[in-house]
Amino acid sequence: MKDITPLEEAIRVGDRWYVLATSSREGDPIRVLKYGESFALFDRFGDMPRAGSGEHGLYHEGTRFLSRYELRLNGKRPILLHSSVRRDNSVLSVDGTNPDLHEDGRLATVKGTLHLARSWVLWKAGCHERLRIENFGQAPVRLALTLEFGADYVDIFEVRGYERARRGEALAVDAGEARAILGYRGLDGIVRRTAIEFSSPPSSIAADRAQFAIELAPGARFELEARIDCDPRGVSARIGYDEAAKRVEEAMSEAANDAHAESPSAPFNHWIERSSADLTMLTAGNPEGRYPYAGVPWYSVPFGRDGILTALQYLWPQPAMARAVLRFLAATQATEERAEQDAEPGKIVHEMRKGELANLGEIPFGRYYGTVDATPLFVVLAGEYHQRTADRETLEAIWPNVLRALEWMDRYGDLDGDGFIEYRRRSERGLVNQGWKDSEDSIMHADGRLAEGPIALCEVQGYAYLARVHAARLARTLGENERARALERQALELQARFEAAFWCEDIGTYALALDGHKRPCRVRASNAGHVLWSGIAHADRALRVGETLLAPDSFSGWGVRTLARGEARYNPMSYHNGSVWPHDNAIAAMGLARYGMKDKSVAIATALYEASLFMDLHRLPELYCGFEREHHGEGPTLYPVACSPQAWASASAFYVAKACLGLSFRPEEPRMRFLHPMLPGFLERVRLVNVRVGEAVVDVQFERHGEEVGVSVLRKQGDLEVSVVL
């Protein structure tokens, strides 16, 4: 990869560059559009360049249908003036101008004479471009506009570096008067085609480019539309730019009635608005309904764990997402043992992919169940959703799936009968580690030795505890009192066993995991924040964990690190061993609030908000590096291949708000409660707008008065009690 980042703006480790959030590197950041099972990655010029990071392109169902699309004026790249994705993520707009253009060895058109306006929209499997070139000069301009294109039809795993022994066959390009059709016959027997069609015939068209000869009088304008379609026979191939833009704008307005937070702080509002828009984009057009795809580009498919945790974090603004997640995961719950997919009856799916590699079984992820935590978290989401909505119809529909999940926890999850849930992969090609930290080197002992399985993660025991607490309450709701009592006994017994086996007095936190010999992994890790979130921790030890999580070795200033500085495998540039993940921090913030450490929740909320100030579009990525925060205006160091947008990172903004305000619901009463609300220092006032509880809707305002926070109900429609414990 060609590097054009100034050395003072980047850190190089091996063959990877880690770029400061304040860097202005060309081609960074990537501009993203997504709709349904398609997404497009552009550079800031509105191109999909063949050079650069390598992931640019138009993707559909896990395959890249367009790997190159670049605009040139007389063979030169335009000068970029500005580019941005609209706040609702519906349109990418790019403004540019011409460089000096020469003809027959002389300067024919001075730079800055022409204005180029490009806009892109993505709807279904079609990507639509509108291009306008206007002459603001005093003389006519003759111009050769070239659009260079290509399609490699690689699977998203190949983009990430997966090497195949052989590939399918590239088909001859079918070039017509105003369109070109590219194609590829995969080893799975499927022919994939890309149609590139222009609103006006070019002067010439070939297998890899179309050229337009343009003459512009002073004040004249040239207009062109292009449509790139991954399904030439589909509905998106029969509409133009305006209709596509209208339809995608309607889709992106789906969340307009969701509850949200707003304040006098424009940067805070931008963070909240972008987070909400990204969650809408990650769900819009998905065949699974409002199920959020995990992240672009690597995880733009349904993931069980990611969908659950995203829906949990976004539950107070919009319960419909949680309902969609619950129903889809119930429908795809495993019903039999399949070792090659790590599937067992009752287990919740980890990920589901399409594409040539999945079709051929070259990767096991077509429908893969190699996750140990999605199953108890499914039960937790069912309980949290019912607690938010009192939706008995959905509860009754998924209750058999909840029971099967609980049975999996007891029968398959506990591999050795000690009462803890462990994992050990069965598929030779599956994931070695099957918690949310699923890197091969993410579970280790204090001396750095990797833990041998089967492995019992600390947070998974917490999830199992909370799952049984929620399931007991749901059982009582359905009149199954004996089952409820049994589940409560299981939860209490697990809590006692957990404290005895996982607490590490010497490091002031819970062990990351127990290995296959039941030896604790005595390392300080962010997983303990999830333990607090679950409520399994005893109160006195929870306070110790809070101190450990916010100590300088764990808290970088931009958030809690996944692994504390000083641990043997600590590396602030690693994926799971020292980086900072927004969703991980939001869960920790909620856990700290659960045990009354609201000041620490506020510290985490402040760190994430301040990190968002340095991010393009105020969009928090999947993760960033865990380097110590410097106090001279530099932002956090970016992780080079983080997903952005990423669902649970976007949802983290709403979860830290809930943690700080102490928000909870009792829809059966109906009541909304705020327990010891606090505001971060960057907010003097904030409103929660359009919060729905049953048939009621309410707007609530919080305002700082010295050290106190005043609460006012600004609007209330319907029967609802709003209570505040100060």
Q: Are 34 and 28 in contact (CB under 8 A)?
A: no
Instruction: Name the band, by pLDDT with cuts 50, 70 and 90, for residue 24.
Output: very low
655 located within any domain: no
Domain end among 537, 552, 583: 537
Same domain, 341 and 233: no
Residue span of the structural domain in which 146 resides: 36-252
Same domain, 55 and 195: yes
Domain end among 198, 224, 252: 252
Choose among 608, 611, 503, 597: nearest CA to 547. Answer: 597
pLDDT of residue 254: 78
- Could you give the dihedral angle defined by the CA atoms of residues 82, 86, 89 and 92, in that order, rounded to the nearest 10 degrees? -40
Mean pLDDT of the chain: 93
Interval 542-577: pLDDT, tens: 999 999 999 999 999 999 999 999 999 999 999 999
Which CATH number belongs to the domain containing residue 691 in this structure?
2.60.420
Instruction: Name the band, by pLDDT with cuts 50, 70 and 90, for residue 633.
Output: confident
387 located within any domain: yes
Residue 26, pLDDT above cutoff 50: no
pLDDT of residue 236: 59
Which CATH number belongs to the domain containing residue 472 in this structure?
1.50.10.10
293 located within any domain: no
pLDDT of residue 111: 95
Which CATH number belongs to the domain containing residue 199 in this structure?
2.70.98.40
Same domain, 202 and 66: yes
Q: Report how many domains make up the chain.
A: 3
403 located within any domain: yes
Average pLDDT on 676-688 reads 96
Same domain, 238 and 91: yes
Same domain, 355 and 472: yes
Tokens found for residue 483: 């089952």
308 located within any domain: no
Same domain, 231 and 362: no
Same domain, 352 and 227: no
pLDDT of residue 570: 98
Choose among 329, 534, 403: nearest CA to 411. Answer: 403
Tokens found for residue 568: 């043997």
Domain end among 205, 235, 252: 252
524 located within any domain: yes
SS3 at position 348: coil
Residue 25, pLDDT above cutoff 60: no
Distances (CA, A) of 689 to 79, 107, 273, 683: 42, 58, 13, 16
Residue 51, pLDDT above cutoff 90: no
443 located within any domain: yes
Average pLDDT on 434-453 reads 96
Choose among 152, 155, 156: nearest CA to 184. Answer: 152
Same domain, 247 and 379: no
Same domain, 393 and 493: yes
Cβ-based neighbours of 529, under 8 Å, separated by 6 or more: 545, 549, 560, 584, 585, 587, 588, 591, 592
pTM, entire model:
0.94
**Low-confidence winner among 181-185, 425-429, 516-520, 631-635 (lowest mean pLDDT):** 631-635
Interval 401-411: pLDDT, tens: 999 999 999 99
634 located within any domain: no
Nearest-angstrom CA–CA distance, 134 and 138: 12
Interval 605-625: pLDDT, tens: 999 999 999 999 999 999 999
Cβ burial of 717 (10 Å; 0-12, 13-18, 19+) is exposed
